[in-house]
Structure 1
Amino acid sequence: MNFDLKTLPLSTAAAEKCDLLVVLVPEGFKPASDALSTLVAHALKQADLETKPGKHLSLYQAPAVAARRLVLAGAGNGSPRHVRQALQGCAAALKTPQVKRAAIVFAGAAQPDAVGAAVMALADASYAYTATKSKAEPRMLGRVTVGVPDAAAVREAFVRGTGVAAGVEFAREWANRPANHATPTLLADAAKALAKASNMQCKVHGPAEVARLGMGSFMAVARGSEEPLRFIELHYSGAGKGVAPVVLVGKGITFDTGGISIKPAAEMDEMKFDMGGAASVLGVFKALAELKPAINVVGLIPACENMPDGRAVKPGDVVTTMNGLTVEVLNTDAEGRLVLCDALTYAARFKPAALVDIATLTGACVVALGGLRSGLFATDEALARQLEQAGDAALDPCWRMPLDDEYADSLKSNFADLGNVGGRAGGAITAAKFLQRFVGDTPWAHLDIAGTAWKGGAAKGGTGRPVGLLVHYLLDVARTPAVAPKAAGRRTATAGSKPVRAAAR
């Protein structure tokens, strides 16, 4: 979708030529003497309109309004959260087939972050998956004008919002594709296509290269599948060569049957979303290509399927990881940590300023946090704070979880250096403790997105999370490189009116 930003006060918004005009009406709205302000004031006075976010009044061919359709939407206190809720309430109007061009106008002051939230909400409302449909309707809404009292004051937030929206949509698209349309090879092709942008490079390691690297754990997971594994390495170079990169590692299990420890059949189709971490890394690089921040970022994606056949790894097998540790595979459905551990070891060669892995790792995290917040585990206080703040700013929140050393006791094995599972209790934490064994002293964070990467039921589909969180974090680091995290003591427990144009494709 294409977005325009322009200075568009309510007094001139009525003349804006579009198919749909949405007016975001905040609490304490003070009307001027123009026709649109008078209409809003009258609707409020008659209690036909409330400013509570999510409440709206739809009108057709309103007098003195050029747009055929007009929606007056309550925007609460005008915060990013309330603006998002207001536009979510208008989603049906935005998806009307006759609406090809829309304008969203702030009737009061526009907070910069609220403008970014508006762009994200509009992109979300208009997204439709079509890749594998035979008679897919093209996206109806093609262009949206965001009107604010002062465009210059919110331009930076607007551009950031369009970049994040492009990344989120890219992540959603790849997460939504069926496993036969999103194989490890096809994910690698998507990464190569991204790397055509300036300041980007891509290297893809096949089975032979991965074997030479000694990634025995990753190879063990992949060997039950006919699809060859791919280890994808993306580089974005926006800063000088001497600037240490942030390394992102995304779990890329393109389909997870559970292997020999096979999953129940019910809802197994949703295991195509088990590459949500990989999709989010691709989405971040899509956003980096749009925004071009002054930062170096490396993206690593170990991609394979987890399938059961005669060659598949078995419960009780012992595999040797890239860093030399041996792992007893007690449950082949705990495969994500087995591919991630080798990628985390590989990441050390880049001497990263920070290392963040993103994975649909544990059902235990879904039980703990549901679908609202991603689980955050971190060994570095500064990194944890940056990620928490970025998640809050992006409306893509996470929650800090403990990493007490005692949780690792359940990973002890009689036959290897450690087991790959530690029992049901605290499963998300023991999974994080497993990964922690492979990061050394590098400032590290683990985002468990098992509850947030996709939705089930009638709304089934990828969410694109946590692209927003990650991009906000990277932009913050790019603006303030001096505060990039350094190795620190490990935390063991926590308490609970010329348009500016941009495109999100």
Structure 2
Amino acid sequence: MRFSAKVSDISKQRAACVIIAVDSKGKLGASGKALDAACGGTIDEILKRGDLGLKLGSTMVIPLTEGPAQRALVVRSGPGALSQAEFRKLASATANAVKGFKDACSYLLELEVDDADIAWQAQQLAAAVGLASYKFTRYQTGADPYPLAKFTLHVPASKMLKTVKAGLAVGAAQASGSNLARELGNLPGNTCTPSYLAAQARAMAKKHPKLTTTVLDGKKMQSLGMGAFLSVAKGSDEPPALIAMHYKGASSSTKPVVLVGKGITFDTGGISLKPGLAMDEMKFDMCGAASVFGVMQAIVELEPALNLVCLVAAAENMPSGGASKPGDIVTSMSGKTIEILNTDAEGRLVLCDTLTYAAKYKPEIIIDVATLTGACVIALGNHATGLYANQDQLAQDLIAAGERTGDRAWRMPLWDEYQTALDSNFADMQNIGGREAGSVTAACFLARFTESYTWAHLDIAGSAWNSGAAKGATGRPVSMLLEYLLQR
């Protein structure tokens, strides 16, 4: 999709659809009034019929018979300045309403938003349009993607043009990254294997000169002592892969941020087999990996001055004669031994070795992203990502990035009192801590491998995908992580 910004006269703007706002009292904004005058008062007359809903974000398409625009999309605004959440709601509503047209021009930058500048507004509008225009069609015979190919933002004044274009670029990259994460998450397990992810990472590096990709295979992982990681992969015919994507946008002396994504491309639970109901959704168990792919995609589009490493711990968790068994003991790359009491607690096993490996980059910060525990879904539902951190400032910065983008997280405890749940009679630790506080004890397990650096863990088990009629990957938390990186 092409995004652009310009100062325009709505009465002369050619478009399949122009987007205008009307407030809670039925009053049009400046551009809306100009368009209505050009149409001989048609828009105001139709609005007086009361067909547009009164709720904020209600929309109505009005066909136009006069002027260059073919249609006007009217969206209900509020009585005054909008909150950031209200503006995002308007942006999403309009994006969903115009995605079926070939092009659209929005005049919503004329709205006032509390505690937000015009670049932020442009970012939200571009992101909303990009996200709404995504459709998974790869395996649907005859299905067509949404036709929206061009989105233009009207800028109220020329002096704002540079600022708006900057916000527009961030929003477009945010949507591009999120949609890549959604596409990877939505792919079936027989397509999206560890080898497939490795191929995608290599292909991305070929397109972008600031990006390099290396892939560690099982033999290399064995030589590094990654016994925890390999214990998960041993039940599958699909070979594991530790994928490293390194974006170099700053000097070599600048310490990188490292993102680590859990990439279990299909999770049966292994010998601790999951129930069959909804097991198809376990293709989404690689959404942590998908999200770091998405962040990297956005970063290479924007090319900010930072260094970023994205590590993807990719494997399948399958039951077979060679699979790990409950009670097995493995040695991690750190040298710590782990008693595997539940083979369905496999994400922490691939992550702990990857987190140990990540230290080789001498990072400033490491953040891992994983669909780690069903317990996090019980605790927070699908609205918030579970956030754990061993430094307060890092937690606060991630929460602030989530609030700014609407991709929100909630901080959970990481207290020493929870660590005793992982005590084992036979090894240094066990890989589960019981039913109580399952998301917390999983984070405590990872914390044992991150003591030497600043680290955060994002449990996205509730936020990474939707079930039911709207089943599909959400692309979260790409928006939060991208915002966090750019704010740095």
TM-score where L is the length of structure 2: 0.92
- AA aligned to 2:214 is K
Quote the residue 2:171 is aligned against: 161
3-state SS of paired residue (1:402):
coil
Distance of aligned partners of 1:397 and 1:271 in 2 relative to their CA distance in 1, 3 Å threshold:
same
1:127 aligned residue (131, 134, 151):
134
Please state whether the residue corresponding to 1:36 is helix, strand or coil: helix
The aligned counterpart of 2:181 is 171
Aligned counterpart in structure 1 of residue 76 of structure 2, from 74, 77, 84: 74
Deviations 1:379-420 (A, max 9, x none): 011111111111111110100101110111110000110010
Q: Does the CA contact (< 8 Å) of 2:126 and 2:168 recur in 1?
A: yes
CA contact (8 A) 2:395 2:456 kept: yes
Mapped partners of 1:160, 1:416: distance in 2: 48
- Separation in structure 1 between the aligned mates of residue 302 and residue 312 of structure 2, nearest angstrom: 22
Deviations 1:7-66 (A, max 9, x none): 23xxx22322121222134568565562437666666666554674321232112x5442
CA–CA distance in 1 between the matches of 2:184 and 2:268? 19
Which of 83, 87, 90 is the aligned partner of 1:83? 87
Q: 2:321 matched to which residue of 1?
A: 310
What is the rounded CA distance, in whole Å, between the counterparts of 1:208 and 1:398 in structure 2?
A: 37
Correspondence for 2:115: none
1:342 aligns with 2:339: no
Percent identity between the two aligned chains: 46
Partner of 1:118: 125
Per-residue CA distance 1:171-194 (angstroms, 9 max, x = gap) = 111111001111000000111111
Name the SS for the 1:186 alignment partner.
helix
Q: Displacement of 1:458 after TM fit?
A: 0.7
- Give the corresponding residue for 1:22: 19
Q: Is the 8 A contact 1:78 1:114 kept in 2?
A: no
1:319, 1:328 within 8 Å by CA — same for their partners in 2?
yes
State the partner residue of 2:34.
34
3-state SS, counterpart of residue 304 of structure 2: coil
Answer yes or no: is the 8 Å Cα contact 1:354–1:442 preserved in 2. yes
Counterpart of 1:143 (choices 150, 153, 156) is 150
User: Does residue 53 in structure 1 map to residue 56 in structure 2?
Assistant: yes
Q: Is the 8 Å Cα contact of residues 24 and 86 (structure 1) preserved in structure 2?
A: no
Is it true that 1:361 corresponds to 2:375 in the alignment? no
Partner in structure 1 of residue 199 of structure 2 = 189
CA contact (8 A) 1:249 1:343 kept: yes
- Structure 2: 5+ residue stretches without partners: 113-117
For 2:120 and 2:304, locate their aligned partners in 1 and report how far apart those are by CA, in whole Å: 18
Q: Secondary structure at the match of 1:34?
A: helix
In structure 1, the partner of 2:245 is 234
CA distance 1:277–1:375, change in 2 (3 Å): same
Identify which range, 271-280 or 76-85, moves more after superposition: 76-85
User: Could you say what secondary structure the match of 1:179 adopts?
Assistant: coil
Which of 91, 97, 106 aligns to 1:93? It is 97
| Distance of 2:96 and 2:478 partners within structure 1 | 25
Change (3 A) 1:80 1:147: farther
Paired with 1:419 and 1:400, the residues of 2 have a C-alpha distance of 24
Per-residue Cα deviation, 1:219-259 (whole angstroms, up to 9, x for no partner): 00000000000110010111110011101000000000000
Is structure 2 residue 106 aligned with structure 1 residue 104?
A: yes
Q: Where do residues 255-274 of structure 1 align in structure 2 (5 Å cutoff)? A: 255-274=266-285
Q: Which residue is 2:485 aligned to?
A: 474
Give the distance between the partners of 2:29 and 2:172, measured in 1 at CA.
30
CA shift for structure 1 position 102: 1.6
**Does the CA-based 8 Å contact 2:10-2:35 persist in structure 1?**
no
Distance (whole Å) between structure 2 residues aligned to residue 133 and residue 402 of structure 1: 44
SS of 1:122's equivalent in the other structure is: helix
Q: Which amino acid aligns with 1:82?
A: E
Q: Is residue 7 of structure 1 aligned with residue 10 of structure 2?
A: no
Is contact 1:25–1:106 with CA below 8 Å preserved after alignment?
Answer: no
Q: Distance in 2 between matches of 1:473 and 1:67?
A: 39
| Residue 434 of structure 1 pairs with residue 437 of structure 2 | no
The 1:35/1:208 distance shift into structure 2, 3 A limit, reads closer
Structure 2 counterpart of 1:301: 312
> Quick one: distance in 2 between partners of 1:372 and 1:439?
27
Partners of 1:87 and 1:109 lie apart in 2 by 11
- Whether 1:410 aligns to 2:421 is yes
User: Is contact 1:24-1:107 (8 Å) kept?
Assistant: no
Distance 2:96 2:422 in 1: 49
Residues 366 and 451, structure 1, Cα contact 8 Å, conserved in 2: yes
Is contact 1:26–1:51 with CA below 8 Å preserved after alignment? Answer: no
The amino acid that maps onto 1:187 is: L
> Whole-Å Cα distance in 1 between the matches of residues 400 and 239 of structure 2?
39
Query: How far did residue 79 of structure 1 move?
Result: 4.3
Q: Retained in 2: the 8 A contact 1:225–1:308?
A: yes
Residue 88 of structure 1 deviates from its aligned partner by 3.1
| 1:285 corresponds to | 296
Provide closer, same or farther for how the CA distance between residues 83 and 64 of structure 1 changes in structure 2, counting only shifts above 3 A.
farther
Could you list the per-position Cα deviations for residues 94-113 of structure 1 after superposition, in whole angstroms to 9, with x for gaps in the alignment? Answer: 243xx211222226246321
- Equivalent pairs counted in the alignment come to 471
Deviation at 1:154, TM superposition (A): 2.1
Could you say what the CA RMSD is over the residues aligned between the two structures, in angstroms? 1.9
Q: 1:424 maps to what in 2?
A: 435
Q: Deviations over 1:306-340 (max 9, x none)?
A: 00000000000001000000000010000000000
Distance of 1:93 and 1:108 partners within structure 2: 19
For 2:245 and 2:220, the matched residues in 1 are separated by: 16
Residue 91 of structure 1, CA deviation: 5.2
Task: For 1:170, give the aligned amino acid.
Answer: L
